[in-house]
Amino acid sequence: MLNHQTTDSDSLNRQINALFAVLAEIHGTDQLILKAGKLDSLNLMRSEKLEERVLALERIVHEDPTIQQERSLEEIPSMLDEFEEYLADLLARRQLEEKLEKRINMKMQERHLEYLKEIRQQVLKEEAGPDNAQTLKKYAELEMLEQKNLSRSTQELMRPQSLDQVVGQEKAIRALLTKLSSPFPQHIILYGPPGVGKTTVARLALKYAKEKSYTPFDENAPFIEVDGTTLRWDPREVTNPLLGSVHDPIYQGARRDLADGAVPEPKLGLVTQAHGGVLFIDEIGELDLILQNKLLKVMEDKRVTFESSYYDPDDPQIPKYIHKLFSEGAPADFVLIGATTRDPSEISPAFRSRCAEVFFDPLTPQDIISIVKSAAQRLGARLEDGVAEMISEYTIEGRQATRLLADAYSTALYKRSDESVEDLIISVADIQEVIQAARLSSYVGVKASSTKEVGRILGLGVSGYLGSVLEIEAVAFPASSPGKGSIRFNDTAGSMAKDSVANAAAVFRSLTGRQLTDYDIHVNVVGGGNIDGPSAGVAILAAIISAVWEIPLPQDIAVTGELSIRGKVKPIGGLHPKIYGARQAGVKKVFIPKENWDEISEQPSEVEIVPIDTVTEFLQAILGTEVSRFQLSVAN
């Protein structure tokens, strides 16, 4: 309770000091002291007691030395609010009076002193425009609000301040810099999952480019940022914040002086504000298709044109800048950087043909650990062993990782007995409490192991830019009658996965000479994951063979590839995200179609990549001598 009262007292003391400072600014320090002396308040003003200082304020504000009653601590906050209201009125009047005096002095230089009364009336008439005592009071209140501010947010504090602080995106940063930091910079589209640093890298890349003498960006080159999901425009071009619009005289928002003369006024858009710099559009894939086409036209012409049926080029009342905008347009020579979480196939081909493409990788657990440790240093906190590793199990987004750390920081501070933030230690218990409160679950649902199991194998799937491991299992029982067996498959896995099962049945017969209908087979994708595409065909066949012959399969390998009915392993899409998913799950070896091999520019050290051309190669690689238990009739 004592700490709480002390905090309230300190807050009131600071507020009283601020009010005295405003009075000193209004009256002048010397005049304020003289006024306090006349009102018998000088000693009260210098007192250590809050009640006496408030009494001094009350006497000075009301200019009444007879006020004797001291206010209680409960009454002081309301009294201070009244004083603030009084000072806001006083500041508004003072500002208006100063403004009037300046105008009067200017008029007095042009006319004789005998016209002083008329000039004062004229100035009062001119000042009866947008500002008056009420509006100036509101302005003064806003100015007082500006004096109050909180500390920087944790996201701002922990955001990378230079490119070398960005974790896990070395290739993407290099690709972006080579395309932007050039005598001939290109328009660029950034692809990648959320929270990997696309916006931050774009900002820092322009800063890097401005430091190079051979780039066209000067030191004042702007970085204009906008979110594509929030851009709204009117097809009549009454409003278009991106490209600019024309306010015709009949529409609300036109300037009165121009509307009275039936003059249309062009309003410049973000593309002109970005002239000479970078226009960054986040979530560019969400931009309206018609607006995308208009933006492409501006990018080609490097200029925005304006049209209006109200524009008359021969009207002498039209200002020169409006003539120039209608006749020549507004400059819009900028570099577009668009960011999206969508797949490239979902982006307009017209945009993709005009832009270089840079792909940001999903963050690995080690990247998240590095981000968390770096953010902890910026917070000035120490981490207990295991904190960073635990955060990396629950997120793959750098933004969310720093947010979890910030929440754990606040939790640790809340538990602390004193109010000091020095030497704060964030424990595993703190981050566990945050994770439980947020109801998070581990990002990696399936993990590889060094064991072997019958009828179970790991496949690979992908959603957007994120790959994952699919747990595919199968069981087999002899059919009650030969040729009367059935094959079951969970519907939630998708129609293409069912086609993969049918292909696996055909290849099973080719490999073994047996009919799969001699067995009751149940194939299941654990968790009901929807397999987008036929890439699980090889894995399904391996699971079925393992179940029928009871041959255990290694659980630290994964395979992806479409299975043709001739036993060939056909290429698949989303290879990089799939390998990423395998790394996340701790897979040691990944088998991929041989035709996808050229897509692997650099093999990750944690995972061995093995190309295969036929299913026979794959089965021999994972089963070894167990292959002799059934006949392989498909040629390599």
The predicted-structure confidence for 366-413, as pLDDT tens digits, reads as follows 888 898 888 888 888 889 898 998 998 888 888 888 889 989 988 988
Specify the amino acid at residue 308.
S
Over 70: is that where the pLDDT of 131 sits?
no
Higher per-residue confidence, 623 vs 463? 623
Percent of the chain whose predicted confidence (pLDDT) is above 70: 85
Residue 489 C-beta-side C-alpha neighbours within 13 Å: 21
Is the Cβ–Cβ distance between 181 and 174 less than 8 Å? no
No. of H helices and E strands in the chain? 23, 22
Lowest average pLDDT, out of 200-209, 220-229, 490-499, 546-555, goes to 490-499
* Cβ neighbours for 88, distance < 8 A, ≥ 6 positions apart: 137, 140, 141, 144
Contact 593, 570 (CB under 8 A): yes
pLDDT band for position 439 (cuts 50, 70, 90): confident
- CA distances from residue 622 to 233, 457, 636 in whole angstroms, order as listed: 58, 11, 16
Type of residue at 118: E
In tens, the pLDDT along 611-621 reads: 999 988 998 88
- Could you give all domains of the chain from N- to C-terminal order, each with its CATH number? 2-146 (no CATH), 169-359 (3.40.50.300), 365-438 (1.10.8.60), 452-629 (3.30.230.10)
Choose from 320-329, 439-448, 451-460 the range with maximum mean pLDDT.
451-460
How many angstroms separate the CA atoms of 581 and 186, rounded?
A: 32
Q: Which residue has the tokens 């654990």?
A: 526
What is the residue-wise DSSP string for 588-633?
Answer: SEEEEEGGGGGG-SS--TTSEEEEESBHHHHHHHHHGGGGGGS---
User: What SS3 string covers 89-136?
Assistant: HHHHHHHHHHHHHHHHHHHHHHCCHHHHHHHHHHHHHHCCCCCCHHHH
Is residue 340 within 8 Å of residue 313, measured between CB atoms?
A: no
Mean pLDDT computed over 488-509: 73
Q: Which of 21-25, 51-55, 249-253, 323-327 has the lowest mean pLDDT?
A: 249-253
> What does the alpha-carbon distance between residue 373 and residue 378 come to, in Å, rounded to a whole number?
9
Residue 2 has pLDDT above 60, yes or no: no
Mean pLDDT (whole number) for 555-565: 90
Q: Per-residue confidence at 169, pLDDT binned at 50, 70, 90?
A: confident
Tokens 């970078």 sit at which residue? 278
Which residue in 485, 552, 469, 492 sits closest to 518, CA to CA? 485
Is 14 exposed, middle or buried (CB count within 10 Å of its CB: 0-12, 13-18, 19+)?
Answer: exposed
Cβ atoms of 218 and 210 closer than 8 Å:
yes
Residue 298: which of 251, 330, 266 has the closest Cα? 330
Highest-pLDDT range among 248-262, 446-460, 463-477: 446-460
Residue 327 host element (H or E): helix 320-328
- Here the tokens at position 95 are 């500002």
Q: Which of 251-265, 278-292, 458-472 tops mean pLDDT?
A: 278-292
Checking if the pLDDT of 294 tops 50, the result is yes
Q: What is the mean pLDDT of the chain?
A: 81
Task: Give the mean pLDDT of 308-313.
Answer: 81
Q: Report the b/e string of 555-580 with b at 16+ CB within 10 A.
A: bbbbbbbbbbeebbbbbbbbbbbbbb
Amino acid letter, residue 355 = C
Contact 465, 397 (CB under 8 A): no
Closest CA to 471 of 458, 460, 489, 453: 458
**Is the model more confident about 544 or about 38?**
544
Query: Residue 136's closest CA among 97, 79, 84, 81?
Result: 97
**12 burial level (CB within 10 Å; 0-12, 13-18, 19+):** middle
Q: Which residue did the predictor score with more confidence, 500 or 495? A: 500
pLDDT of res. 281:
93
pLDDT at 202: 92
Question: For the residues 327-342, what does the mean pLDDT come to?
Answer: 91
pLDDT-wise least confident of 41-55, 111-125, 278-292, 408-422: 111-125
* 229 closest CA partner among 282, 180, 185: 282
Which of the pair, 340 or 234, is modelled with greater confidence? Answer: 340
Residue 190: the pLDDT is: 93
At residue 464, the pLDDT reads 65
Residue-level pLDDT at 130: 55
The answer on pLDDT for 635 being more than 50 is no
Residues designated catalytic: 535, 578
DSSP assignment letter at 360: P
C-alpha span between 561 and 570 (Å, rounded):
6
Could you read off the pLDDT of 58-82 as tens digits, one per residue?
778 777 778 777 777 777 777 777 7
Calpha distance 10→16 (Å, rounded): 10
E strand or H helix that includes residue 563: strand 562-563
CA 419 to chain centroid: 32
What are φ and ψ of residue 466, in 5° steps? -115, 125
**Mean pLDDT score, 596-607:** 76
How much is the pLDDT for 575? Answer: 84
pTM above 0.85, yes or no: no
**What's residue 277's pLDDT?**
93
Reported as a pLDDT band with limits 50, 70 and 90, residue 1 is: very low
Residue 168 and residue 233: Cα distance in Å, rounded?
37
- The 3-state DSSP class for residue 281 equals strand
pLDDT band at 323 (very low <50, low <70, confident <90, very high): confident
Confidence of residue 123 (pLDDT cuts 50, 70, 90): low
pLDDT at 100 over 50: yes
Indicate if the alpha-carbon torsion angle 607, 610, 614, 617 is positive or negative: negative
Q: Is the pLDDT of residue 106 over 60?
A: yes
Q: Which two tokens stand for residue 36?
A: 């306090």
- Non-local (6+) Cβ contacts of 309 within 8 A are 248
**What local confidence, expressed as pLDDT, does residue 636 receive?**
40
Given a contact cutoff of 8 angstroms between Cβ atoms, the answer to whether 435 and 507 are in contact is no
